Amino acid sequence: MSNLYDLLAFEVVEGIEEGLFTAEEYVCSVIKRIEDVESKLHSFISLDSEGALSSAKLIDRKLKEKENIGLLGGVTVGIKDNISTKDIRTTCASNILKDYVPSYDGTVIRHLKENGAIILGKLNLDEFGMGSTTEYSRFMPTHNPWNLDYVPGGSSGGCGAAVAAGECTVSLGSDTGGSIRCPASFCSVVGLKPTYGKVSRYGLISYANSLEQIGPICRSVKDVVMIMNIISGKDMNDNTSISSSPITINDKSNNLDIAIVKELIDGSDDAVTRTIYSTSEKFKEIRCECNEISIKNLNYALPSYYTLASAEASSNLARYDNIRYGFDLPIDDYKWDNYFSNVRKNFGEEVKRRILIGSYVLSSGYYSKYYLKARRLRSLLRLELLTLFKKYDLLIGPTMPILPFKFGEKIDDPLKMYLVDINTVIANLAGIPAITLPVGFSNGLPIGLQIMAAPFEEQKLIDASYALENTINIQRRPNLI
């Protein structure tokens, strides 16, 4: 048998149930892997090895006593550090929450635990999910396991790197404008942003509520299905959540009509373009039709996204007022405004920039010029996409228009950094599901294919991804040590 930490989630569950290895042996293998590679990657903000080992022992005991160990019995999960975990520090990679320990589990965490998953620790991100590289984490940047000089993508960069490197079986990230798909693409793993409402956001620390969703990052499509079926569903604590049908792995894709979005290809790196076109040819091998189409309103998508996300951020982050979250500063030395602004010095530069832009686009005189126009574009884009989905089952293009880049390349120019999200924000604006699948490499750097579907049509994404995954033969594990 290969290294235990290399196993996929469904192999872990099968192996433990069949007695090929114990949950404790598996968790020990993953912890050893973390000890070996974490000093190079910096994926974790908090690691709960002790808690993970005691959960593993409990699973082994249950199995011995012939009790049910759950659908994810023994699977180790890394959690993006903006999802609340009871008694485990949840920082959002921000100084303002560096000592915050939630008193409750987010709904997704509760579902994972109820099904036997083992929460291994909390993974690095750009502060409050604002960024595409993890360079905006206030603690440290995470490194790309395929080349340590390069960024892993973001904001869920710790999730992408840890899964790719075998530091956990799967991870949960959050995606506001591409934050699951960008690191999954840059780290050559599979990442799914579900339809808005499919997964409860209760316990996800808010950045831009109307755009964000929690979703899985895994090493295989089959693992994505396993996790999605556990975390999806209606939750009374999130009134935007909706119950939906479970998804499955089908061995045959069903003659899907697929469209390549021209605007997503235009402007991409040559290597990315070549790989996406050659991948589109593979769809024909699995009996899918593939045509090229245009989306009229795509020009406006990224400016709309940054208008709406910043506006929502400026409102959401107003809660960090040093009363409910912050530090126990005495009040005698301060006046009202200074008391709040003093603690808010703990925000990093990117968070401050987005709050300021949000205040700007919401202020009198600019509200109708920017914010309302962005809302209108969002409606137009969704309607245009829903019309296209009447004709096509899936829309495809590169997840990221560029290859992973080196640290420091874009950090001094915020606009340059924003532009890397150009292909991913569409799905968040329209509330549709989108998956990224590893499809190739250029100079050792990963390339991902993005597939989008109509709301709640995750099954079509899975059918196409699973079929494609089985036809593409690429290296699956980085040579880290």
Partner 1 sequence: MISKDELAYLAKISKLDLSEDEAEKFPKQLERTIEYIDILAQLSSDDPIVLDLQEIKFDELRDDVINTSGGRPINKNLTEDGFLKGPKMK
Q: Which of 137, 171, 179, 200 is catalytic?
A: 179
Identify whether the C-beta of residue 47 lies closer than 8 Å to the C-beta of residue 124.
no
Closest to partner 1 by CB, 150 vs 306, is 306
Per CB under 8 A, contacts with partner 1 among 178-207 are 196-197
CB-side exposure of 340: number of CA atoms within 13 Å? 9
Mark the segment that binds partner 1 (CB under 8 A) among 5-13, 250-258, 281-289, 358-366.
358-366
Q: Does 243 bind partner 1 (CB under 8 A)?
A: no
Closest to partner 1 by CB, 44 vs 320, is 320
Per CB under 8 A, contacts with partner 1 among 22-41 are none
Residue 155 among the catalytic residues: yes
Backbone φ, ψ for residue 179 (5° rounding)? -70, -15
**117 burial level (CB within 10 Å; 0-12, 13-18, 19+):** buried
What is the per-residue binding string for partner 1 in 318-337, x denoting contact by CB under 8 A? x--xxxxxxxxxxx--xxxx
Q: Compute how many residues bind partner 1; rule: CB under 8 A.
A: 74
Closest to partner 1 by CB, 283 vs 339, is 339
Per CB under 8 A, contacts with partner 1 among 134-163 are none
Shortest approach of partner 1 to residue 431 CB, angstroms?
A: 5
Residues with Cβ within 8 Å of 330's Cβ and at least 6 positions away in sequence, in order, are none
Q: Does 474 bind partner 1 (CB under 8 A)?
A: no
Per CB under 8 A, contacts with partner 1 among 71-130 are 100-104
Q: Give the E-state strand segments of 201-323 in sequence order.
A: 213-218, 257-261, 289-293
Residue 190's beta-bridge partner residues? 218
Q: Which of 376, 391, 406, 476 binds partner 1 (CB under 8 A)?
A: 376
What is the per-residue binding string for partner 1 in 396-435, x denoting contact by CB under 8 A? -----------------xxx--x------------x----
Give the closest residue to 185 by CA, choosing from 394, 40, 402, 37. 402
Q: Which of 43, 55, 80, 280 is catalytic?
A: 80
Q: Does 239 bind partner 1 (CB under 8 A)?
A: yes
Residue 416 among the catalytic residues: no
Residue 315 among the catalytic residues: no
**331 burial level (CB within 10 Å; 0-12, 13-18, 19+):** exposed
CA distances from 48 to 3, 23, 123, 474 (A): 21, 16, 11, 33
Q: Does 261 bind partner 1 (CB under 8 A)?
A: no
Q: Which of 342, 384, 407, 441 binds partner 1 (CB under 8 A)?
A: 342
Per CB under 8 A, contacts with partner 1 among 288-307 are 299-300, 303-304, 306-307
Give the closest residue to 370 by CA, choosing from 359, 382, 380. 359
Backbone φ, ψ for residue 38 (5° rounding)? -65, -30
Locate 187 and state its tokens.
Answer: 């780290």
Residues labelled as active-site residues: 80, 155, 179
